[in-house]
Amino acid sequence: MSPPGLCLLISFIPSVQTEVGDQLLPKVCLQKPMRATCKRSLGLILVGGFLLIALFYVWSPGSSSRVDIRPKQWSPVIKHLHGKIQNIASLYHDIPYHIKEDVACRLAQNTCVCVAEKETVHLPFSHLLWPRAWAHDISMAFLESHPDPEGVKSNRAQEYHSFQRRSFDPSDVLVIAEAQSPLQYPTQGVKVRPLKTIIIPGLGLKQEERSNYSVYLTATLGTFDIAASVDSVSVNGAAEKHMVLSSPLLSALNRQLQFVTYTNTVFHPRTADTIQFSTKGHQAFFTIKVGHGTVPALYNHGSQKEYNISALVTIATKTFLRYDKLKDLIDSIRQYYPTVTIVIADDNEHPQPVTGPHVEHYIMPFGKGWFAGRNLAVSQVTTKYVLWADDDFIFTENTKLEKMVEIMEKTTLDMVGGAVREATSYTATYRHTISVEEGGEEGDCIHIRQGYHHIIEGYPNCVVADAVINFFMGRTDKLQQVSFNPRLARQGHLEFFVDALGSLHIGSCSDIIVNHASKIKLPWTKTDKQKAYDKFRYTYSGSDKNLHNEIYYFKNRFKCMTSN
C-alpha cells in the first residue's frame, strides 16, 4: 500500500501536464522551449513531495497497528500451562504418604482467622511481661454499622477483581520444565512470603532404570523439608539448606518430591533465592521469589452502573499570580461537573481566599514551585482518579472526563492524557516515546521522540505513549508512587515521565479536549501581575538551567539525551 504522501505527490502530475499541454511529461520535457519550465515543475514536484512525506510522518509518527490492552488473566497459553501442572500433580497419586504435622502446619492454607492469643500465664502484670496479640474483626465492625453491607461487599469484590486483572503479571505464572535433562523443575512462578513455607511445585526425575535414584537440593536464603514422608525414600538434610533424597524406586522418589517444602529464613521484603536442583551428571537452577504480596489499593466509590465522576475523580491544579485564570477554570468546571472536588495548591506571596462548594485550597510557602505544588495537590486526593489541569485551562463540552474514566476502567492504562486547544484553534496532544539505551560506566542514553507506540483497540482516537500533554487523568495511587521532583520549581514536564518510565502505562486521546486561555497579550496591555508572572515563569538563571542537567546526569544517570 502506498503511503498517503506518495499518493499526494502523484496527484500533482496531471495538473502540471495540463499547464504544459496534453502531451506526456517526458515528451514535453524534450521540447527545448519548455525545458526550463519542466525543470522548474519537476523541482516543485520533488520539493512538494518531500514536504508532504515529511508532514505525513510528523502527523502520523506512530505505528498504525491497533493493540488490545484490556486486562487479561487467562490466555490460551496460560490455560494450557495450568492444565499441564494439574496433570503433573495428579501423577503418583496412588502411592501412600505420611503427613509431617510440624512442617505441614506452616504451609499457607488461605484460611486466615481472626482469633486473639489465649492467656497462658495467670500472674499479676503478666500482660506486661508477655503481651498477647489481640484481634479486631474489621469485617464485622465495618459491615454491622453500614446501611448497605451487601452492596459494599459486592463493590469491594468488583474493585478487587479489577485490581487483580490490572496487576496480573504473566511472569508470575507457574511454568514447569518437564524433564529433558532428566530433571523436572519450575522455571518461574514460585513465590514465598518472607519467613514462610511453601511446597515447591513440579519437582521430578525422569531417568532410565537403575538400582538407586538420588536428587540434591541446595538453597541460600532458606531451608528444605518435607510435608509428608513416603515409604522407601531416604531424606537427609531436612530443615537444612542442603537436602538429599534417594530411593530404589523412581515412582516413590517422584512422589516424595511432590512434598518438598521451602522455608525462607532470611527476611527481605523483595528478593529471590536461586535453588540448585541436581542428580548425578546433571544440574539445573531455578528461582523462588521472596517477598510480601501486593496490598491492594481499592476505592469505595459506590455501585452505580454509570460512572459517578464526583465519586471517582478529583481535579487538581496549582496557581500562582493568576487568580483571574483560576476563577475562569473553576467556573468552567462547575458548568459541567458541579460537585467534583477541586484541590488547589497555592504558593502566592499574598494568597487570596478561594472558596466554594467542593473546593479545597492549600497554601504553600511563597514560590515553592511547580512540581512541589503538584505533589501537595495530588497528596490530598482521596478518589480513585485525579485529573491534572493547569490554572489557565477552560473546560468545554469536549472535556469528557467520563471518557477518560471509561478508558482507565477498561484497560491497563495508569494515565490518560487529553488534548489542549489554543486560542488559535490549534490542538496539541504532545505525544512522545521515551527509551533508555545502556551506555556503560559513563551512564546511559535517553532517546525522546515525537510519536506513539500504537493505537488502542476500541478507541481509534487514543494511542499508547510514554509522555503526554499537561492535561491528564491518572490512578491516584500510581501517581503518588512516582511523585513529582520538588526541585523543579519553574519549569518541568518530561522529568516526571522519565521517572515514570517502567512504572506507568500511559495513553493519549485526541478527542478529549480542554481549552487554553489566550496567551496573546500586547506588552503595553499586561497588568503588573501578568508581568510578575512572566518574570517568575520565563526568566531562568544559570543555576535553573543547570538544574535539569544535574537531574538527568546525577539522579537519572544519563550521559546523553537525543530528541526530535
Do β-strands 415-421 and 427-428 pair in parallel, antiparallel, or remain unpaired?
antiparallel
Give me the CATH code for the 309-563 domain, please: 3.90.550.10
Checking if the pLDDT of 499 tops 90, the result is yes
Alpha carbons 482 and 299: distance in angstroms, whole number: 19
Provide the CB-side half-sphere exposure for 384 (13 A, CA): 22
The owner of cell 495450568 is: 82
Q: What is the pLDDT of residues 321-332, one digit of tens each?
A: 889 999 999 999
Averaged pLDDT of the chain: 82
Distance separating alpha carbons of residues 46 and 57, to the nearest angstrom: 17
Separation CA 448–CA 7 (nearest Å): 30
Distance CA 423, CA 516 (A): 7
User: pTM surpassing 0.75?
Assistant: no
Cell of 249: 524406586
- Evaluate if residue 30 carries a pLDDT over 60: no
Please tell me which residue, 543 or 316, carries the higher pLDDT value: 316
Q: Is pLDDT above 70 for 16?
A: no
The whole-number pLDDT of residue 200 equals 96
For residue 114, which phi and psi values (nearest 5 degrees)? Answer: -100, 85
- DSSP for residue 271: E
Stretch among 16-25, 98-107, 269-278, 403-412 having the lowest mean pLDDT: 16-25
Give residue 513's identity as a one-letter amino acid code. I
Q: Residue 27 CB: number of other CB atoms within 10 A? A: 11
Q: What is the pLDDT of residue 117?
A: 72
In this structure, are residues 503 and 483 in contact, taking their beta carbons and an 8 Å threshold? no
Distance (Å, rounded) from C-alpha 234 to C-alpha 252? Answer: 10
- Grid cell at residue 168: 496480573
Q: Distance (Å, rounded) from C-alpha 294 to C-alpha 159?
A: 15
Q: CA geometry: angle at 304 spanning 299 and 309, to 5°?
A: 65
**Distance (Å, whole) CA 548 – CA 553:** 8
Q: Which residue, among 436, 96, 92, 380, has the nearest Cα to 250 in the 3D structure? A: 92
Closest CA to 419 of 455, 470, 456: 470
pLDDT given for residue 303 in this prediction: 66
Alpha-carbon span 174 to 201, nearest angstrom: 9
Residue 8 has which C-alpha cell? 499526494
Q: What cell was used for 163?
A: 485490581
Between 526 and 381, whose confidence is greater? 381
Q: Which residues pair with 260 in a beta bridge?
A: 226
CA-CA distance, 198 to 191, in Å (whole number)? 8
List of residues 6+ apart from 434 with CB closer than 8 A: 446, 447, 448, 466, 467, 494, 497, 498, 501
Closest-CA residue to 527 (of 322, 358, 270, 360): 322
pLDDT surpasses 60 at 392: yes
Q: What is the pLDDT of residue 32?
A: 45
CATH topology of domain 171-291: Immunoglobulin-like (2.60.40)
Give the residue, 542 or 31, on which the prediction is more confident: 542
Residues of the chain with pLDDT > 70: what percent? 77
When comparing pLDDT for 335 and 124, which is higher? 335
- Rounded Cα distance, 372 and 370, in Å: 6
What is the per-residue pLDDT for 57? 46
Q: Which residues of 91-105 are buried (b: 16+ CB within 10 A; e: fewer)?
A: ebeebebeebeebbe
How confident is the model at residue 400, as a pLDDT?
95
514-525: per-residue pLDDT in tens?
999 876 555 655
Report CA Rg, the chain: 33
**How far does CA 416 lie from the centroid of its chain?**
12
Alpha helices in 72-148 (DSSP H): 76-89, 101-104, 126-129, 138-143
Cα distances from 145 to residues 141, 155, 156, 467, in angstroms, run: 7, 17, 16, 45
Residue the block writes with cell 506513539: 452
Chain segment 196-241, per-residue pLDDT in tens: 999 999 999 999 899 999 999 999 999 999 999 999 999 999 999 9
User: Predicted confidence band at 177 (pLDDT cuts at 50, 70, 90)?
Assistant: confident
Cα-Cα end-to-end distance for the chain: 27
| Mean pLDDT, rounded, for 414-426 | 91
Sequence-ordered list of residues with C-beta below 8 angstroms from that of 76, at least 6 positions apart, any chain: none
Q: What DSSP character marks residue 551?
A: I
Check: CB of residue 446 under 8 Å from CB of residue 560: yes
Give the pLDDT score at 239.
Answer: 95
Kindly state the average pLDDT of the residues 49-68. 57
Cell digits of residue 41: 515543475
Residue 564 CB-density burial (10 A; 0-12 exposed, 13-18 middle, 19+ buried)? exposed
Distance between CA atoms of residues 264 and 222, nearest Å: 4
C-alpha cell at 232: 522407601
The answer on pLDDT for 33 being more than 60 is: no
Distances from the Cα of 107 to the Cα of 104, 226, 286, angstroms? 5, 11, 21
Q: Does the pLDDT of residue 23 top 70, yes or no? A: no
Q: How confident is the model at residue 381 (pLDDT cuts 50, 70, 90)?
A: very high
In this prediction, residue 5 carries a pLDDT of 40
Q: Among 261-265, 455-459, 543-547, which is the least confidently predicted range?
A: 543-547
Phi, psi of 413 (to 5 degrees): -65, 145
Lowest mean pLDDT: which of 56-60, 141-145, 203-207, 258-262? 56-60
